[in-house]
Every structure is written in structure tokens, then in C-alpha cells.
Structure 1
């Protein structure tokens, strides 16, 4: 299978890169992040950008103290797992369980490598399977971002019907 220009590369924070948002890409820094029950779970700090493939890959989210033995922390979430609210400047992040938030590694600027990304993919797994996946098969680096977790079209689609 041809790689389709989606190879793995070092990621940069959008605010520290030359990347410019294009039409249809909202500047979501500072927006509230809610779960599907309209509970605020954090705020968008920044986006992680892939300069080789010219694509946003992750949301950097500062999670609130959600109780249940989980303090506030910064994490990265693949962009395709979230979506924009239909009308308001809110990011909706459904299908991630509190245990998954607790298990996600702390985000440290400049320290996101393939091991961290594989750990995140293992923790999040497939949204359909949620916590049922025990182990993700060995991932092909050339195809890493060819996964629905990185589908930015889903993220920016405000016409999506939201069932809150």
C-alpha cells in the first residue's frame, strides 16, 4: 500500500511553528473541552502539528481535576477523537473514560516521540472497543496517522449531530 504522505515525523506545538490554520480550521486554543454529558473536563492549551505532513495531529488539553484520584494535568488527544460543538466555541470529547484519562501520560513539550504516541494509542484503543482491547498490534510507522484517531475532517465538522 502506498504511504499517501502520512509518515511519522517529529511534532511541534502550533504556537511555536510556522503552520497557519486554513479555512475551516478554527483557532481553538483556550476553548472549553466537555464530555458528551456537557461536563467541563478541561481547556485546549494548543495543538500538536506535524510539519512533514502539514497536519494537526493532537489537541493539547489541560484536564481539570476530575476527582476520582485524578489531579489536573496536560495530555494530548488525537484530533479525530474530538469534534467541535455545533454552535458554540466548545470542543466535545466523547468516548474517553476517566480511567483512560488517568492512564494517559503527562504532556511534556518536546518529548512526544513514537513511544509516547504508541502508549496513547494503547490506552485509548479503538473508541468502539473502549477498554476491551488488551494490546494493539505492532503499528506500521508509515501508516501510523492513517487511522480514524487522526481524521481532522471529523473534528472540524460542525454539522455533526450532537446527542448530549
Structure 2
């Protein structure tokens, strides 16, 4: 959960923090992060903007969110995000700001039609009000099959850390299973274990010992 983490520009300037994440209710995937530009170090106008999650990358060492592929001009040109409102038209404007070609409705030159369209748009907005953490509109799901919404980009700077964590969890789980093979006399017959299994069992015993010792020292 990256809510509350600082968002930093490519040169390290703080843009502010992740205020909220917006979820696609249908696909159960994060699509955007909401960023409040209050007190940002780029001297941008104070307002709230929405950035597609595919532009976010976790820093390799600190709990910061980096946006190295976003320019200052793009940040300035993003539309203001109004609380609890997200429409397909708004999402297309965001994508267009980042250089993506998206389908747009033709603009009418008839003033009466323009007025009617604005009134209808306001009505649609009212009907599509959502919670800040949820998207449930009629935009096509193919729209999100784009690099702008690739959640894997978030972890691209931490592959080794994630891999190490998974490896440690795997070794612990395997050690636990071996430990549960103990006999009624609390001893384990290791004659049928491979050297790798013995090492995992030994590691689990050490970890268990450290945990028990730590608990005893705290008592």
C-alpha cells in the first residue's frame, strides 16, 4: 500500500504524497494514484491530479514513489481531479495528456447543441459519482491494456528484494514442514533427508531458537 508515500520527480524533487488509489471495480486492479500538489518543490499550482499507475515506480531503497517518465509540462496539463468523480471522458483526457491517441467525441459548432451537451455531461457526471477508491464506469476494458496501466512497473526497481523475500518465505515454509515431521519423542529422523533439506531444517531451528530467546529476554 503506497498511500502516504512521497512522490518524487526525476531529479528527486518532492511533488507531494500519494493521497489515494483508484480501483477499477470490475477488474479489481489499481488504475490511478491521486496526488495532492500542496507544497510541492516544483512550485506547481496547488490542486489534485490523477496519474496512471503505470508511471509510478518504487524507489529501490526508500519508501518513495518515483515518476521518472513524467514531465513538468504533463503535470501542469493534467486536468484537476474533483473528489469522487471520474468519467470516461476524464480518463481519456488524462491519457491524451501523456501522449496517447484516444478516441474523442467530435466537438459541435452549434451553440445550442454545445449547451445541451454540457447539460447532458453534467447529468452524466452526477450519475457516475463514485467513491474515491473505486471506478465503475462504462469505459471499455481494452482501454487499460496499455503501458500506462501496467502495475508491474511499480516494482521494476525492486526485483532482487522481492525475489529474496519470496525465497526466504519459501525456505521458512519448507523448514516448517520438515519440522512438523518430528516424531512423538520430539526428534527427527534425518537419515532420509537430502543435504539441502538438512540445511533448511537447521536454518529453521536457528530462527526458532532466536525467536524464543527474544521472547524470553522481553519477559
TM-score (norm 2): 0.52
Deviations 1:99-129 (A, max 9, x none): 2111111111221110000000001115xxx
Mean alpha-carbon deviation: is it higher for 115-124 or for 94-103?
Answer: 94-103
Looking at secondary structure, tell me which structure has more strand per residue: 1
Higher relative contact order (CA 8 A, sep 6+): 1
Name the structure with the higher helix share. Answer: 2
**After superposition, where does 1:50-129 map in structure 2 within 5 Å?**
50-63=24-37, 64-65=39-40, 66-67=42-43, 70-125=44-99
CA distance in 1, matches of 2:16, 2:6: 6
* SS across alignment from 1:75: strand
Structure 1 unaligned segments of length 5 or more: list them: 1-26, 127-135
How many positions carry a matched residue from both structures? Answer: 124
* Residues in 2 aligned to 1:72 and 1:91: alpha-carbon distance in whole angstroms: 19
- Give runs of ≥4 in structure 1 deviating > 3 Å: none
- Counterpart of 1:28? 2
State the match for 2:21 in structure 1.
Answer: 47
- Bigger CA radius of gyration: 2
Structure 2: unaligned runs, 5 residues or longer: 105-138, 161-219
Q: Report deviation, 1:142.
A: 3.6
Q: Return the alpha-carbon distance in structure 1 between the equivalents of residues 76 and 17 of structure 2.
A: 16
Q: Measure, in 1, the Cα distance between the counterparts of 2:61 and 2:55.
A: 19
Q: What TM-score, normalized by structure 1, do the two folds share?
A: 0.69
RMSD over aligned CA atoms reads: 2.0
